[in-house]
Amino acid sequence: MALIVQKFGGSSVADRDRVMNVARIITDTYKQGNDVVVVLSAQGDTTDDLIEKAKEINPNPSKREMDMLLTTGEQISVALCAMAIEGMGYPVISLTGWQAGVATDSNYSAARIKRVRADRIRKELDKKKIVLVTGFQGLNKYDDITTLGRGGSDTSAVALAAVLHADLCQIYTDVDGVYTADPRKVKGAKKLDEITFDEMLELASLGAQVLHNRSVEMAKRYNVNMEVLSSFSGKPGTKVKEVVKTMEKTHVSGVAKDTNVARVALVGLTDKPGMAFKIFSLLAKEKVNVDIILQSIGRDESKDISFTVSQDDMARAEEVMRANQELIGFDSIEVSDKIAKISIVGAGMANNSGVACKMFEALFSAGININMISTSEIKVSVLVDERDAENAVQAIHDRFFGEFGEA
Amino acid sequence: MALIVQKFGGSSVADRDRVMNVARIITDTYKQGNDVVVVLSAQGDTTDDLIEKAKEINPNPSKREMDMLLTTGEQISVALCAMAIEGMGYPVISLTGWQAGVATDSNYSAARIKRVRADRIRKELDKKKIVLVTGFQGLNKYDDITTLGRGGSDTSAVALAAVLHADLCQIYTDVDGVYTADPRKVKGAKKLDEITFDEMLELASLGAQVLHNRSVEMAKRYNVNMEVLSSFSGKPGTKVKEVVKTMEKTHVSGVAKDTNVARVALVGLTDKPGMAFKIFSLLAKEKVNVDIILQSIGRDESKDISFTVSQDDMARAEEVMRANQELIGFDSIEVSDKIAKISIVGAGMANNSGVACKMFEALFSAGININMISTSEIKVSVLVDERDAENAVQAIHDRFFGEFGEA
């Protein structure tokens, strides 16, 4: 007997039949003798529909009222799912975020969980009830309803799993696990049985879009065993945990593509101390997140610095740089959003320089030009032209996971 | 400067344009220097749509989960309306029932308000905010969400008005006041400027359907001045209060028709003490509400007892009577739902027997047979055949409010 937290996303509860399906998964888990706590998202397009309703009335509503509005979506989900489980003859209770004791800060629309007082959940579990909790939401110190922002429901699930010391936190979604690359786009993409938190973090930030980083970060911090699996297939998914079996062997977990990236290049910088500090503190002040930074080794007095930002931040980054051209001291600025970042992720990669080499070789064989390179402990990223992105992913994936691959 | 509680029903906030309209009424009241607390119902068909969704999943869901589901409707209303008011540039905050401190008993789907801790509302009013509160809902002692059942939002409004010592509780609806008869059906129906609580209570229970009895009873108990008015017309409505200007004069306030009525007649009862007690305690045990009771003056040893119940309760009433035929001791039972109750309501009626007489005369002139008669301090009701109902109302209304009427 174990305590299992299950989370189902919006597509998993989109209509009556899917709610019934989810109720069956939940009651099957309960029947096996487990304590079950379930976190649900809003049904299908509910959240988008509510946002549209709001924008019709006020294009710029306060975040506080927006949270008041949107949190109804999850409340509808838990109530309906509880009714489905009641209909199957199992004891069940639904709870809102505040009833479940999820306390957050007051950053409406993007609140952080501060603590979870899980007394109520424990009491209901003691009564042998299946407990359904609204994802994505909590309560701040003013007794106002907040939402957790993107990836919020995953985060709710991991937070509850952490506080309740759950044996497993299952994230049910519409894909059946984490793949070596996007299975809709890359031939031969394989499902992984296991992956470490760090690898998952890199993959998520690279656009794998299976789990949100926030939830994985929290799972890593509190050592919550996660599993990503499909609510439709009934097959085992991908386990996400601190240490995986295959860890001692160098391996590549996956190939990811991120097209939401823009490059800013400052050309002809005078090389003097504090130059980089100046540039990046100006960007930080404007809340522009910088990803890859590359500084060229200049031949004479002048240097170039290139960095990448998300496409949403490109205009702002350019503006800040131009406004401070004299202060920073550069000749010209070039920006481009016609690029993509392709990355391979794998634990233990740092100890095996051959991995990066294989990646570059695959790109060379496919005739794809590399624009920038960045490496970390468990990741190698390259920037390529946007139009080369898909070919690049396939070529790299073939090299590592294809019939003659070596991962 | 006054404190005004305003309540808007579902049809008043059914879509974007109506929400904007309501926001204008609210901000107009605020601009005049008043403190404004607003109670809103769920938009248009929201509640019915949610009920349908629930029934698809479980035809017989628990009331607790049903309340969890339905309360989202009002939460959507207050959030959207707050956004509309923000857009107009006024300070506003929306609150759920529990945030507004509405404490109820645990009778899910038909909870009674036990108390209102209005600290939060007062705090927001002190900050000069317009306060929007979800109608129809509260919180029980287990921190679970409850709904107040039929007429719930009116009751929420009156409860808040009572606790806050509001100067006026305005109930906005889709009719512009209380009429002497249903204006859609009776020619010459006139809007009343004022009416007493007691008259309103009788009219509401007789199917006038403008205000729910519960809210009027509460308003009477706490002496809350009410006004019923239209959110569309912009005209003054009908004031409902303890004493009205015209009170010293005998008057008839209105004529009402109730077709949701059924008659049960027990024929050939042996006349012995405790007979009535037996009958009505059996009905009470089955929660059958009895309205009019009539006992014939028997010629010999046997008597008849007739009573009316709502049509929903007819089958149950018959069943209970038949099951206890021996215990009660009657020869036969007759039930009929092809009847209607027509009533005239007016303060001071008891002191003027001529009023009832005029009513009977009007019916006689129209060739309508009277089936049963019941009178109270401020009401005279008659049962007639269902097919005579509309004619009966028109005839009585003409007699009292027509060109030559005398009310």
By C-alpha distance, which of B2, B3, B5, B24 is closest to B232? B24
Q: Which of A62, A83, A93 sits opposite B58 (nearest CB)?
A: A83
Q: What is the CA radius of gyration of chain A?
A: 23
Residue of B nearest to A50 (CA): B76
Task: Note the pLDDT tens digit of each residue in A168-199.
Answer: 999 998 888 888 888 888 888 888 899 989 88
Report the residue from A57, A120, A145 with minimal CB separation from B83.
A57
Judging by beta carbons within 10 Å of its beta carbon (0-12, 13-18, 19+), is residue A47 exposed, middle or buried? buried
CA–CA dist B233, B122 (Å, integer): 31
Q: How many residues does chain A have?
A: 407
Beta bridge partners of A329: none
- What pLDDT, on a 0 to 100 scale, did the predictor assign at position B80? 98
Interface test with A, best of B83, B85, B88 (most A CBs within 10 A): B83
CB B154 within 8 A of CB B169: no
- Cβ(B240)–Cβ(B282) below 8 Å: no
Distance (Å) of CA A72 to CA A58, A63, A78, A118, B225:
19, 15, 10, 21, 33
Neighbours of A329 (CB within 10 A): 16
CB contact under 8 A, B84 and A19: no
Name the residue among B339, B346, B343, B393 with its Cα closest to residue B366. B393
Phi, psi (5° rounding) for residue A235? -90, 160
How confident is the model over B258-299, as pLDDT tens digits? 899 999 999 888 777 777 788 888 888 888 888 888 777 655
Contact B79 A99 (CB under 8 A): no
Cross-chain Cβ contact B96/A145 below 8 Å: yes
Q: How far is A76 from chain B (nearest CA, A)?
A: 5
Nearest to A57 among B19, B69, B144 (CB): B19
The answer to whether B40 faces chain A, any CB pair under 8 Å, is: no
Query: Looking at residue A104, what is its pLDDT?
Result: 96
Q: Which has the minimum average pLDDT: A243-257, B64-78, B328-342?
A: A243-257
Is A63 an 8 Å CB contact of chain B? no
The Cα–Cα gap between B211 and B177 comes to 10
Determine which of A1-10, A326-335, A373-382, B248-257 has the lowest per-residue pLDDT on average: B248-257
pLDDT at B249 over 60: no
pLDDT at B54 over 90: yes
User: What would the DSSP string read from start to end of A186-223?
Assistant: STT--B-SEEEHHHHHHHIIIII-SS-HHHHHHHHHTT
| ipTM computed for the complex | 0.78
Cβ contacts of B65 on chain A, cutoff 8 Å: 79, 82-83, 86, 94
pLDDT at residue A199, rounded to an integer: 87
Instruction: Please give the pLDDT value at position B267.
Output: 87
Q: What is the pTM of this model?
A: 0.80
Average pLDDT over residues B311-328: 92
* B187 neighbors B199 (Cβ within 8 angstroms): no
The more confident residue out of B177 and B94 is B94
Whole-angstrom Cα distance, residue B67 to residue B111?
A: 10
Residue of B16, B19, B94 with shortest CB distance to A65: B94
Which helix (H) or strand (E) segment is B336 a member of? strand B332-336
Q: Tokens 């894909």 — which residue? A: A175
Of A16, A66, A86, the CB nearest to B61: A86
What does DSSP assign to residue B191?
A: B
Structure-token pair, residue A99: 């009833």
Least confident of A239-253, B117-131, B278-292, B328-342: A239-253
A120 and B143: CB-CB below 8 Å? yes
Please judge whether A144 and B99 are an interchain contact, meaning their C-beta atoms are less than 8 angstroms apart: yes
Q: What residues have CB less than 8 Å from A39, skipping those under 6 apart?
A: A5, A6, A7, A8, A132, A133, A134, A135, A153, A156, A157, A160
Q: If DSSP states are collapsed to H, E and C, what string results for B138-150? A: EECCCCCEEECCC
Q: Which stretch, A14-23, A224-233, A381-390, has highest mean pLDDT?
A: A14-23
Report domain extents, chain B.
3-174, 262-336
| Residue A247 binned pLDDT confidence (cut-offs 50, 70, 90) | very low
State yes or no: pLDDT of B334 exceeds 70: yes
- Cβ pairs A/B, distance under 8 A: 111
Tell me how far apart the alpha carbons of residues A167 and B193 are, in angstroms, rounded to a whole number. Answer: 68
Q: Which residue has the higher pLDDT, B348 or A303?
A: A303
Average pLDDT, chain A: 89
Least confident of A253-257, B115-119, B137-141, B159-163: A253-257
Per-residue model confidence (pLDDT) at position B228: 93
Which pLDDT band holds residue A93 (cuts at 50, 70, 90)?
very high
CA-nearest of A207, A140, A219, A214 to A178 is A207
Secondary-structure percent of chain A, ordered helix, strand, coil, rounded to 5: 40, 25, 35
Contact A61 B83 (CB under 8 A): yes
Which residue from B minimizes the CA distance to A59? B87
- Contact residues on chain A for B94, CB-CB shorter than 8 A: 65, 68
**Are the beta carbons of B181 and B405 closer than 8 angstroms?**
no
Place of tokens 């707050």: B82
B189 within 8 A of B181, measured Cβ to Cβ: yes
* Domain B3-174 part of CATH 2.40.160.60: no
Chain A residues within 8 A of B120 when measuring between CB atoms: 143
| Cross-chain Cβ contact A57/B80 below 8 Å | yes
| Closest partner CB to A68 (pick from B57, B62, B75) | B75
Q: Given this model, what pLDDT does residue B250 score? A: 55
When pLDDT is cut at 50, 70 and 90, the band that residue B360 belongs to is: confident
- Give pLDDT tens digits for B131-170: 999 999 999 999 999 999 878 999 999 999 999 999 999 9
Query: Which tokens is A318 given?
Result: 């350019």
| Tens digits of residue pLDDT in A47-79 | 999 999 999 999 999 999 999 999 999 999 999
Do B341 and B258 contact (CB within 8 A), yes or no? yes
User: Which residue from A56, A83, A144 is facing B65, i.e. has the nearest CB?
Assistant: A83
The alpha carbon of residue A352 is apart from the nearest alpha carbon of chain B, in Å, by 55
DSSP B111: P
What fold characterizes domain B262-336? Answer: Alpha-Beta Plaits (3.30.70)
pLDDT of residue B254: 87
pLDDT at B407 over 50: no
Per-residue pLDDT, averaged over B15-29, amounts to 97
Whether A173 and chain B come into contact, CB under 8 Å, resolves to no
Whether chain A has a CB inside 8 Å of the CB on B89: the answer is no
User: Do A244 and A196 touch, CB atoms closer than 8 A?
Assistant: yes
Mutation choice for A interface testing from B76, B141, B144 by most A CBs within 10 A: B76
Characterize B86-109 residue by residue with b for buried, 16 or more Cβ atoms within 10 angstroms of its Cβ, and e for exposed: bbeebebbbbbbbbbbbbbeeebb
B68: nearest CB among A59, A64, A79: A79
Of A387-401, B94-108, B161-175, B360-374, minimum mean pLDDT range:
B360-374
Contacting A residues, span 114-143, partner chain B, CB-CB under 8 Å: 120, 143
User: Closest-CA residue in chain B for A143?
Assistant: B99
Instruction: Give the model's confidence band at B247: pLDDT under 50 very low, under 70 low, under 90 confident, else very high.
Output: very low
Closest CA of chain A from B65, distance in Å: 5
CA atoms of A311 and A321, how far apart (whole Å): 16
How far apart (Å, rounded) are the C-alpha atoms in residues B222 and B225? 9
